[in-house]
A and B are shown apart, each in its own frame.
Chain A
Amino acid sequence: MSALHLAAVACFGVGVGVVVLTALASLRVRRAADRLHFLTPATALGAPLVGLGLVLENGWSLTSAQIAGTCGLIMITGPVLTSAALRLAAQREGTVPQESPE
């Protein structure tokens, strides 16, 4: 069992822990806007850590490239989805105009 394998498992475990804990923490709040704040650590911290762990385990290969690409997609699309859902919540609460930003 090499140090690289241990580092990979550690990164993967921390990433999974972040995702699971943020999911559980989002149960403790009621408003959708507050829940969306707990989605951010899962996409911005949990996904890259899981991807880093898998990349460390696989080394330099096409498999690692696909894992990194998938985790990169999660990191890019996460904030977009969060802002879209926040805008929707604000429109429904009436804090921004319904036609915004058109």
Chain B
Amino acid sequence: MNPWLAGVLALVGIGLPVAVWIGSRGDPVDRLVGLELAGVVAALALLAFAQAVAQPSYLIVPTIAVVLSFAGSLLFARLLAPRS
């Protein structure tokens, strides 16, 4: 096992379950925090995975994931705002 794969395992095995746990409990703002954390952890895990398997073409996946995660989280923040 190379160090990059060990990093992927740490991120996916510890960081992502924690983010999913936060994102599946509590009120909507708590869930939004979990979603944001999951986006960051998943993007970094995908970056490290591309390095672990020596496939630079896989790097487009985390790049797009960061952009989509940003747009999706902002959309949730907008839709969850209380309406007067």
> Given the complex, which residues of A lie within 8 Å of B40, measured CB to CB?
19, 39, 42-43, 46-47, 74, 78
* Minimum distance in angstroms from A89 CB to a CB of chain B: 5
Interface size class of B (residues with CB under 8 A): 35 or more
Contact A98 B22 (CB under 8 A): no
Contact (Cβ within 8 A) A16 B83:
no
Name the one of B14, B18, B66, B77 contacting A88, with C-beta atoms under 8 angstroms. B77
CB closest chain-B residue, reference A16 = B7
Interface residues in chain B, defined as those with a beta carbon under 8 Å from any beta carbon in chain A: 3-4, 7, 10-11, 14-15, 18-19, 21-22, 26-27, 29-30, 32-33, 36-37, 40-41, 43-44, 47-48, 51, 56, 59-60, 62-63, 66-67, 69-70, 73-74, 77, 80-84
